[in-house]
A and B are shown apart, each in its own frame.
Chain A
Amino acid sequence: MLNGSSRHIPRVSQTQLILRMAAAMTLAMGALFWHGPWSLTALTLGTAALAVAVGAHRHPWKRLALVFVWQVVLVMALYLLRYGAQSLPDGALVAGRLVLLVLPGVLLMRTTHHGEMARLLVRVLPARMGFVLSTCVFFFPTLWSVTVQTYESQVLRGARILPRELVNPLNWGTLVRVICLPAIVSSLALARDVALAAHCRWYGLHPDRTVWPGPNPSDTTGEPRA
Chain B
Amino acid sequence: MTLTLENVGAAGLTGPLYSGVDLAVGPGECVCITGPTGCGKSTLLRTMAGLHDPGPGRVLFDGQPVSRALPGRIGLILQNPDTQLLCPDVGSELAFGLENLRVPPAEMTPRMLRALSRVGLGALPLDRPVGALSVGQKYKLLLAAMLVMEPRILLLDEPCAQLDQDGIDALNAILENFLAAGGSVVLCEHDPAPLRAIGRILGIADRALRPAAAPSHGTLPAPPSAPGKSTVATLTDACLTLGEKRIWEHLDFTLHTGEIAIIQGDNGSGKTSLLRCLTGFEALTGGSAAVFGQAPAPKALRGRVGLLVQNPARQLTADTVLDEVSFPLTYRRLPKARCRDLAMGILEKLDLASLADRPPFLLSHGEQHLVALASVLAVEPELLLLDDPFVGLDPASTARVWGILHQASLGGASVICALHRRPAAHGAHSVLELRGTGLSAC
A binding-site residues for B, Cβ under 8 Å: 1, 4-8, 113-116, 118-119, 122, 134-135, 138-139, 141-142, 146, 149-150, 152-160, 162, 177-178, 181-182, 185-186, 189-190, 193-194, 196-206, 208-215, 222, 224
Contacts and interface: CB of A to CB of B under 8 A. Distances in A.
A189 B308 contact: no
Given A6-B242, A201-B149, A181 B99 contact: no
Interface in B81-110: 82-84, 86-89, 91-92, 95-106, 108-109
Nearest to A186: B314
Contact of A149 (B84, B99, B310): B310
Contacts of A159: 328, 331
B343 interface: no
A203 B100 CA distance: 5
Say what secondary structure dominates the interface of chain A: helix
A152 B279 contact: yes
Nearest to A189: B314
Contact of A202 (B100, B126, B316): B100
Contact of B317 (A5, A138, A178): A178
Interface residues of B, number: 74
Contacts of B55: none
8 contacts: A5-B282, A115-B129, A119-B88, A156-B306, A160-B331, A197-B78, A202-B71, A202-B101
A201 to B, nearest CB: 4
A145 B72 CA distance: 33
Contact of B298 (A6, A7, A156, A196): A156
Contact of B83 (A8, A122, A142, A211): A142
A5 B88 CA distance: 20
B92 A119 contact: yes
B77 interface: yes
B78 A210 contact: no
B146 A4 contact: no
Contacts, number: 183
Contacts of B98: 210, 212
A208 B82 CA distance: 26
B225 interface: no
Interface string B371-382: 000011011010
A150 B309 contact: yes
B195 interface: no
B75 A197 contact: no
Nearest to A184: B317
B331 to A, nearest CB: 3
Contacts of B105: 210-213, 222
Interface string B315-331: 11100000000011001
A12 to B, nearest CB: 14
Given A152-B309, A194-B86, A197-B78, 16 more contacts: A4-B281, A115-B88, A154-B315, A156-B298, A157-B379, A158-B332, A159-B331, A160-B331, A197-B84, A197-B86, A200-B78, A201-B97, A201-B145, A202-B72, A209-B99, A212-B98
A118 B100 contact: no
B47 to A, nearest CB: 14
A13 to B, nearest CB: 14
Interface string B31-57: 000000000000000000101000000
Contacts of A222: 104-106
B346 to A, nearest CB: 13
Given A115-B131, A193-B83, A155 B298 contact: yes
Contact of A200 (B49, B101, B106, B375): B49
